Amino acid sequence: MNDTRSDLYIGVMSGTSHDGIDAALIEFHGSTLRLVATAYSPFTHELRTKLLKFNRTDTPCLLDEVLPAGREFSAAVANTVQSLLSGTELQPDSITAIGCHGHTLRHQPDGEYGYSYQLIDGAALAVSSNIPVVCDFRSADIALGGTGAPLAPAFHQFLFHSPDENRVILNIGGISNITLLGAAKDTIRGFDTGPGNLLMDFWMERHFGQRYDNLGNIARQGTVNKALLQQLLTHPFFSTPPPKSTGREAFNGTWLLEQGVSDFDRHDIMATLVELTATTVATAISWSELTPGTILVCGGGSHNNYLIDRIAALATPWKLETTAVLGLDADWVEAAAFAWLAQQRWQQQPGNLPNVTGARRDAILGAVYLP
C-alpha cells in the first residue's frame, strides 16, 4: 500500500480506564514524529455503562447488544476524529490512515484458540470519517502463538530507545505495563505488570463518588494494610513469568470485593491499592536486572503524584520522569503508538516484537478498511 500522501496518521485509543476516547494527529518524519493536534471525548454515561457491562466476565453478553454497541462506539470515534480535524486546516484526504485500537471487551490469548476482542466497526469508521482505518492489531500476533500484548514496546523502541542508558517506559492506564529498553537493543522486553488505575478508580467511584483520586490525595490520607497487600499479591498473575498480559478479566471490582476489602477503612484501601500498583511495577523492573537508568512514565497514572512518589521510593535508584522530557506528552503516548502501528501496517512493516509477546515471528499487524 504505497501512498504518495503525507505521513499524517491519527491514532485512537480507548483504554481499560473506561473514561473516553483519545485521538492524536501525528506527523512522521523518518525516525521522529510531531504531535500535531489532540482531541478527547468522554464516553456518554449510557455507552460507558454498556462497556463496563460487557467487560464483566460474570454476566453473559448477547450479540444483539454487543454488535450495535460496536457501531455506536465507532460513531463516537468518528465524532472524535472530526473534532480533532476541526481544530486544524486539514481535510480527511490529508490523512493517510487512522489507527484505531478499539475497546477491549475480552483478552484471552492463551490456549489453542486464544483470542482478543476489541469493539470497533472498522468499515463504519472508514466510511463515516472518509479516511482509511487500520484496526484489529492483536489477532495476527495471537495467531502466531503470542499474547497479542503489549504492542506499544515496538513504538517505544522506535521513539525512546537510547544507546547511552537503560530506560523503562511505564504506562499506567487501567492496567500498568512496562517496556524495558536496554541500551543494547537485544535486551528489549515488555509486559503487563498488573493493575494500574482500574482498582483505584473502582474504589473511588464506589466509596467516594469520584471517577479517580485526583493527585492521589485520598490515598495519601490512608495507611497501607500490609496483610491485605500480601493477600492481593498472591494473585497468580504476579508470579507468572513474562511474556504475559492481563486485563479486567483478572483484575476487577468483583475480584477486589472478594478479598474482604469492605471490612477496612476506605482511605486505607486506597493507600493499599496504590501500594499494590507501585510494588508490582517496582518488582517487574527489578526482574529485568538492568543497570538503573531512567523510568519514563506515561498514561493517566502519571498525574497521580502519590503513586509516582511510591514507585520512585520502591524503584530507587532509578530516576523517574515523564515522557514529556523527551518531547511527547504523557497523556498521548498510547494514541501515538497506534498512529505508528497504522503507519507500520500501511508500509507493510512488522508491528510486534516476538521477544515481547512470545509470537513465533514478526508480523504485520492490523486489518485495513477503506472508505
Would you state the pLDDT for residue 56?
A: 85
Averaged pLDDT for residues 318-326: 98
Whether the pLDDT of residue 5 is over 70: the answer is: no
Separation in Å, CA 79 to CA 22, 65, 172, 343? 12, 21, 26, 22
Is pLDDT larger for residue 367 or for residue 111?
A: 367
Which of these, 132, 277, 137, lies nearest to 200 by C-alpha position?
277
CA nearest to 192, candidates 269, 33, 299:
299
pLDDT at 54 over 90: yes
Domains of the chain: 8-149+331-369 (3.30.420.40), 152-326 (3.30.420.40)
Cell of 300: 493517566
pLDDT exceeds 50 at position 3: no
Of the chain, the percentage scoring pLDDT greater than 70 comes to: 98
Q: Which of 187, 198, 160 is nearest to 330 (CA)?
A: 160
Burial of 365 (0-12, 13-18, 19+ CB in 10 A): buried
Mean of pLDDT values over 311-316: 98
Residue with cell 448477547: 62
Residue-averaged pLDDT of the chain: 95
> How many C-beta neighbours within 10 Å does residue 188 have?
18
**Rounded average pLDDT over 14-26:** 91
pLDDT above 90: percentage of residues in the chain: 90
Question: What pLDDT score was predicted for residue 6?
Answer: 54
Residue 105, pLDDT above cutoff 70: yes
pLDDT at 4: 42
| Rounded Cα gap, residues 131 and 161, in angstroms | 31
Q: What is the mean pLDDT of residues 336-345?
A: 99
Please state the rounded mean pLDDT for residues 94-99: 98
Residues 176-189 have pLDDT tens digits of: 999 999 998 777 99
